[in-house]
Amino acid sequence: MNPNVYLSYHDANEKQCATIAAFLKENNYAVRYVPTDYVVGDRQPAHILQDLVKLFYDPSDVLVCILGSQTADLTHVDVELHHALSGKPGVRKGIVLLLMERPDVSLDKIRAKNPKALQAIPDRLHKNLGYVELATFSRYRDLPVILNTAWKKAKDASVPVEVGSSPAAIKKGRYHDQ
C-alpha cells in the first residue's frame, strides 16, 4: 500500500506540481493539493482551517513541499507544515522537502546548515531537518522510495519533531496568495 500524498507549493511551481502529481498517480498514489484557483470563502478562520484539513490535509500520510524561490515565507505553506508535524507518531505526516535546484541553495548546503540555504526553507523545518526527507525536483522519479521513508518516520516514536508555535490564520481570499 502506498501512502496518500499532499503536495504543498507556491503557484509559481504549478507546472512542477502537475508533473509530480501525474507521476505519482501513474504509480498508484492518491494525490491531493489545493488548486491555484481555490478561493477561501467568507468564514471564521477556525472554520476555514477545519474545511482545509478535512478536504486536503487529513486524508494524506505524507506532505511533499515543493520548495521554489518564493515558498519559504508563505502562510499557507506554514499552516500545512504545522498540521503535518502535529500529533503523535502515526497521526503526524511524513514530510519531503523537494528542492527546485538553484545555484545558491542545494541539498548539501541545507544539510550543512548554511545560513543562506536555511533562509530558503520554511522556518518550521529548520529544527526538523532530521525528520524531513530531502530531495530535488530533478530526481522526482525517486519519490516512491523517499515517500515510504518519510511515511515510516511519521510512524516512528523515536524520531522527534518540534511543532513550534501556531501558524498565522488562513484568511478570506485566494489560498495561494497567503
> Which pLDDT tens digits describe the chain residue by residue (178 residues)?
999 999 999 888 999 999 999 999 999 999 998 877 777 776 666 666 667 767 777 889 999 999 988 888 888 889 889 989 998 998 999 999 999 988 788 889 998 988 888 888 999 998 899 999 999 999 999 999 999 999 999 999 999 999 999 888 777 776 666 6
Q: Which amino acid is at 86?
A: S
pTM score over 0.85: yes
Count the Cβ atoms, other than its own, within 10 Å of residue 6: 25
Measured between alpha carbons, how far is 150 from 131 in angstroms, rounded to an integer?
8
pLDDT recorded at residue 46: 62
Measured between alpha carbons, how far is 178 from 25 in angstroms, rounded to an integer?
27
Q: Which residues pair with 134 in a beta bridge?
A: 97
Delineate the domains of the chain, giving CATH numbers in brackets. 5-157 (3.40.50.450)
Which triple of cell numbers denotes residue 28?
498508484
Count the Cβ atoms, other than its own, within 10 Å of residue 108: 10
Exposure class string for 93-107: b at 16+ Cβ within 10 A, else e: bbbbbbbbeeeebbe
